[in-house]
């Protein structure tokens, strides 16, 4: 089975504005979700997505079908950009965590949901990088094990091992929560 993005990418390579819009519409939501989960910051996720698309436009004319699936390559680019930002972030200490808007349906449910989201986000952020990456790719990005392993550059068995260790660590960190 060929790459479902091959035709669209070849049109992007020729500078077709409709193809560029279609590619952004197709890929932007998943890139924002991936970067948002890894970075925990919507603005930084938008910056990562923008940089990833800049790399797509630079790479499109040189893209060789069959070398790798475009989606796999794009996820790897986005993850690398996220980890670059995380490395830079470690060098700067923040005094206060960023504020998050209450997105819940009601005040009490919203507070509970926000607290749960923060706890899960903190537990996810506390995982080693590779375990967090595996969990985000498989559970939040909904990639299959084969595709996630390709994005990470590991075997399926190694991915499954990372997932298992990550899930156990999350379960332990969130053991006191009723919903889990």
CATH number for 146: 1.10.10.10
Cα–Cα distance, 72 to 26 (Å, whole number): 14
Q: Are 5 and 70 in contact (CB under 8 A)?
A: yes
| pLDDT tens-digit series, residues 42-95 | 999 999 999 999 998 888 888 777 767 888 889 989 999 998 888 887 655 556
User: pTM for the whole thing?
Assistant: 0.59
Cα–Cα distance, 4 to 95 (Å, whole number): 45
Q: Are 67 and 80 in contact (CB under 8 A)?
A: no
Going 67 to 146 to 134 to 42, the CA torsion angle's sign is: positive
Token pair listed for 175: 């053991």
Q: What is the pLDDT along the chain (180 residues), one digit of tens a residue?
A: 577 888 888 888 888 899 999 999 999 999 999 999 888 889 999 999 999 999 988 888 887 777 678 888 899 899 999 988 888 876 555 566 656 665 655 555 555 556 777 888 888 888 998 999 999 889 888 888 998 999 899 999 999 999 999 999 999 988 887 644
Same domain, 79 and 160: no
**Domain limits for position 48:** 1-96
**Which one, of 51, 78, 81, 59, lies nearest residue 10 by Cα?**
59
State the pLDDT at residue 71: 85
Cα–Cα distance, 168 to 64 (Å, whole number): 40
Same domain, 6 and 82: yes
Same domain, 89 and 113: no
71, 96, 121: which is the final residue of a domain?
96
Residues in contact with 180: Cβ distance below 8 Å, sequence separation at least 6, in sequence order: 171, 174
* Domains: count for the chain: 2
61, 96, 131: which is the final residue of a domain?
96
């Amino acid at each position: 089975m060929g790459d479902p993005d091959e035709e669209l990418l070849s049109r992007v390579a020729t500078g077709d504005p409709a193809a560029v819009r279609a590619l952004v519409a197709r890929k932007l939501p998943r890139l924002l979700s991936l970067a948002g989960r890894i970075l925990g910051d919507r603005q930084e996720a938008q910056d990562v997505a923008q940089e990833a698309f800049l790399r797509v436009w630079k790479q499109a004319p040189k893209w060789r079908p069959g070398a790798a699936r475009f989606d796999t390559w794009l996820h790897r680019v986005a993850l690398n950009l996220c980890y670059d930002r995380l490395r830079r972030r470690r060098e700067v200490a923040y005094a206060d965590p960023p504020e998050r808007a209450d997105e819940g349906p009601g005040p009490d449910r919203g507070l509970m949901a926000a607290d749960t989201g923060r706890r899960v986000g903190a537990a996810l952020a506390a995982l080693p990088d590779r375990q967090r990456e595996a969990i985000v790719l498989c559970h939040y990005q909904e990639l299959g094990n084969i595709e996630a392993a390709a994005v990470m550059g590991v075997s399926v068995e190694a991915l499954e091992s990372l997932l298992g260790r990550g899930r156990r660590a999350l379960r332990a960190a969130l053991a006191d929560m009723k919903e889990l």
